[in-house]
Amino acid sequence: MFLKYRQAIIATFILLALASGYYVTKLKFSFQFEQFFPVGDPDLEFYQKFTKDFESDDNFLLIAVENNPTVFDSVFLNKFHEFGLEVRNLPHIKKVQSLTQLKYPVKTPFGFSAIPFIHIDEPDKYETDKQNILSDERFVYNLIDSTGTSLVIAAKTIENIGLDDSRALTQALDKLINKYNFEASHVLGRANFQTALVDFQKREMLLAFLSSIILVSIFMVLIYRKPIGIIISLGSIALGLLLFMGFLGFIGAELNAISALFPVVMLIVGSSDVIHIFSKYVDELNKGKDKLMSMKVTIKEIGMATFLTSATTAVGFGSLLSSKLMTIQDFGIYAAIGVLIAYLTVLFFTTSVLSLFDKNQIISESKHVSNWTKFLDSIYFMNLNRYRTLFTVSLVLSALFVYGISKISTNYNIEDNLPRGEKVTEDFKFYEKHYAGFRPLEFAIFVNDSLETGDYKVVKEIDKLEQKIKSTGVIKSTISLATFYRSINRMNNANMDSAYLFPQTEEEFEVSKRMLDRLGNDETNILISQDNKKTRISSRITDIGAENIKKLGVNLDNWVSNNIDSSIITVKRTGTGLILDKNSEYVTNSLLKGLGFSIVIISLMMGFLFRSFRMVIIALIPNLLPLLFAAAMLGFFNIELEAGVSIMFAIVFGIAVDDSIHFLGRYRLCLNEGLSKEASIQKTLHDTGKAIIFTTIILFFGFFSMIFSVNPPTFTVGLLISITLAGALICDLYLLPALILRFTK
């Protein structure tokens, strides 16, 4: 028995804590949309090849500046123009575009002349400029809103900009914006998202830790009431968390958007282990045994049950490896490791320290033992005498839950995954309302072998497709080769709005093509591959939800099949927006696979423990009901099933089964002592009922603390897990004993 090495074990954990404290400072945080790409998806592989021929579709930074009632004001326009010129000099910016910097070509007898779209120094032309600009689809929803109350600077950043570069850029941009003191400004883009959401992750983790530790501390004080007992319990839990976070820092793990759950998971898992160890140790001391013998019995009887509960919880988290999202996989494997670290900390450190103290030093004598006995006996007699009622209620609820599950939707949108009330979210909403939105949507176009991208037949088909895309009403911004030919056609017709059309004949097209070649345009270079066999239509779609976008995509695909000449071009939808939305297709399948894996592994553990297939089924029933309940809540309350929410089921199943294992483990020991089935159930309720209730209360409030989060998925996960674990407790107390009494020999 390792207890004879208590001092060495305690010293070892102190050294590990010091090392972990150092490595915690090395923790890394990251947020990239690539983290949410489904690994191994064929559309992802296609997109990665697509970006090799072109550039990625998210290397932009949009800066919108408001000026009410109109931006056509000389003071504002001069200030905005100077601001735009300074944006060019910000770090990691490659190119800048705005209406005050753009000019359009005009054909004259002496050649081409460039005229500004906005005559900044000629206010008498503002009204004409305004009418021209607001009637030009190239600019409305891209560089100016439809009411003319805000202007946008569209900046292009370096490819795949990382966190450090993003932070340098956004900090420099914030200083520049403060310098000009605009009425209101809104920023949207990869660099802004990375910086804002990583900072938010750090605050979330700190808030989750503080709120959870406060709630756990309150309950530890209520349970133990003696300073030494409180210090040992809280110290063990905090040590497990410190060792885990230090481990993540040591291996160089990058914490992502879901990592805010780590402190909560570690605190509540550690609390559960500590309470069961404490409870059994005190019971043995009450029998008159000395400290060392009491702890030996505790480790022998509770150690195996605690190991099984930790193993099942780890399996629950490990089931997340079936997900196609690296963020979910990482969370699953790290959380599983964290559970095992918490178990080893309690098994070795907590037991070593606890065995140095007797009962009077660690816990106050409860004055309400008789009340607990009466309450637990009432539960026993309910299971013994009213089992038909309990079974009927369970069946009715199961049917209701199945109905709720049928209403689950995966039509999630980006806004629902952004932190409420944060500047990054408000800016996102602004662009969704006044501009073309954020979600990139690309159409990759492949040209027939006998043609090239600049041929009349090719660009004419592209124009047909682009017009169809814009007619959807949810895609406000597009750019393609056809866009430039419409612009040239307009220029050739005195810049009349009615002339913004694709050339009607091949002769007109060839004239425009020669003119476009003479003018030269950097934008066309990003639309054509080097071999002139591939081109693209770039667009942005509003945040209408993943399922709605999927339906829209299917409709567009069908339209392409029926209206685009496949002998000239072939078309395929792609882009980061499409890849992210693919998660809705995988999340349900991954969830079912993961839960199936967890059920099989946990069933094998139960089978090993009880050597009875019937007992495995009995043990699973009260743990599957809470899962049905959690899933039904998604359907009843119209909560979209998305990647962040899907991890809830692994957490619920992995943790909810813990109480069943403690109950069944104690029940088996009672049977081995020669007690009857009925007497074993009653004694098991007396021995484990209080600890199960206490641990569930701590679990409930530990996860419930997540409702203070302003991150919608975190709020949803915390609330649903709390309610579901409460349901799991009810099943363990009011259904599991009834099943054992009715269906076992």
Q: Please give the share of the chain, as a percent, with pLDDT higher than 90.
A: 27
Domain range annotation of the chain: 1-30+224-365, 60-157+161-195, 370-406+582-745, 439-542+544-581
pLDDT category of residue 457 using cuts at 50, 70 and 90: very high
Q: Is the pLDDT of residue 223 over 80?
A: no
User: What confidence tens digit (pLDDT) does each residue in 500-530 have?
Assistant: 788 888 888 888 888 777 766 555 667 888 8
Indicate whether 563 pLDDT > 90: yes
Q: By CB neighbour count within 10 A (0-12 exposed, 13-18 middle, 19+ buried), where does 216 fall?
A: buried
Between CA 581 and CA 547 the distance in angstroms is: 8
148 has a pLDDT exceeding 60: yes
State the Cα–Cα distance between residues 144 and 430, nearest whole angstrom: 13
pLDDT of 110 strictly over 60: no
Burial class (CB in 10 A: 0-12, 13-18, 19+), 188: buried
Give the mean pLDDT of the chain. Answer: 84
Question: What local confidence, expressed as pLDDT, does residue 409 receive?
Answer: 80
Can you tell me the distance from the alpha carbon of 327 to that of 330, in angstroms, rounded to the nearest whole number? 5
CATH topology for 370-406+582-745 is Multidrug efflux transporter AcrB transmembrane fold (1.20.1640)
Instruction: For residue 145, name the pLDDT band (cuts at 50, 70, 90).
Output: very high
Q: DSSP secondary structure string, 25-63?
A: TT-EE---GGGGSBTT-HHHHHHHHHHHHS--TT-EEEE
Q: How many residues does the chain have?
A: 745
pLDDT for the residue numbered 520: 60
pLDDT of residue 265 exceeding 90, the answer is no
- CB atoms closer than 10 angstroms to residue 533: 16
**Residues 401-426, mean pLDDT to the nearest whole number:** 85
Lowest mean pLDDT segment, chosen from 14-23, 322-331, 472-481: 322-331
Paired tokens of 696: 């569930």
Q: Looking at the DSSP assignment, which residues form a beta bridge with residue 644?
A: none
State yes or no: pLDDT of 33 exceeds 70: no
- How confident is residue 93, by pLDDT bands cut at 50, 70 and 90? very high
CB-based burial, 52-75: b 16+ in 10 Å, e otherwise: eebbbbbbbbbbbbbbeeebbeee
Percentage of residues of the chain with pLDDT beyond 70? 92
pLDDT digits (tens, 9 = 90+) for 690-733: 878 888 888 888 788 778 778 887 788 888 888 888 888 899 99
- Distance separating alpha carbons of residues 379 and 381, to the nearest angstrom: 6
Q: How far is Cα 424 from Cα 414, in angstroms, rounded to an integer? A: 12
**Which has more confidence, 680 or 1?**
680
Q: Is the pLDDT of residue 77 over 90?
A: yes
Which pLDDT band holds residue 179 (cuts at 50, 70, 90)?
very high
Query: Which segment of 451-460, 533-542, 641-650 scores lowest on mean pLDDT?
Result: 641-650
Q: Candidates 2.40.50.100, 1.10.3720.10, 1.20.1640.10, 3.30.70.20; correct CATH number of 1-30+224-365?
A: 1.20.1640.10
CA atoms of 649 and 322, how far apart (whole Å):
13
Distance from C-alpha of 470 to C-alpha of 463, rounded to nearest angstrom: 11
Mean pLDDT lowest for which of 85-89, 173-177, 577-581? 577-581
pLDDT band at 369 (very low <50, low <70, confident <90, very high): low
Paired tokens of 611: 């050597």
Predicted local confidence at residue 616, as pLDDT: 83
Whether 279 and 54 have beta carbons less than 8 Å apart is answered as no
Please indicate whether residue 352 or residue 186 has the higher confidence score (pLDDT).
186
The domains spanning 1-30+224-365 and 60-157+161-195 adopt the same CATH topology: no
332 pLDDT band, cuts 50/70/90, is confident
With a cut of 60, say whether residue 405 has pLDDT above it.
yes
**Of the CATH numbers 3.30.70, 3.30.980, 2.60.120, 3.30.160, which one belongs to the domain with range 60-157+161-195?**
3.30.70
Where residue 403 falls among pLDDT bands split at 50, 70, 90? very high
User: What are 636's two structure tokens?
Assistant: 């009843």
Contacts of 486 (CB under 8 A, 6+ apart): 463, 500, 501, 502
Q: How far apart are CA 427 and CA 432, in angstroms?
A: 9
Give pLDDT tens digits for 489-507.
Answer: 777 776 677 777 888 888 8
Stretch 20-46: mean pLDDT, rounded? 78
Band (pLDDT 50/70/90 cuts) for residue 14 is: very high
Q: What are 144's strand-pairing partners?
A: 140, 151
CB atoms under 10 Å from CB of 122, counted, come to 12
Mean pLDDT of 617-629: 85
Sign of the alpha-carbon dihedral angle for 354, 358, 361, 365: positive
pLDDT score, position 247:
93
Contact, 77 vs 118, CB < 8 A? yes
**What are the backbone dihedrals phi and psi of residue 249, each rounded to the nearest 5 degrees, phi first?**
-65, -35
DSSP, residue by residue, 665-710: HHHHHHHHTT--HHHHHHHHHHHHHHHHHHHHHHHHHHHHGGGG-S
pLDDT class for 80, splitting at 50, 70, 90? very high
Residue appearing with tokens 């403060």:
178
Note the pLDDT of residue 459: 92
SS3 assignment, position 527: coil
- Going by pLDDT thresholds of 50, 70 and 90, the confidence category of residue 307 is confident
Residue (of 643, 578, 586, 588) closest to 43 by Cα position:
578
Residue 228 has a pLDDT of 83
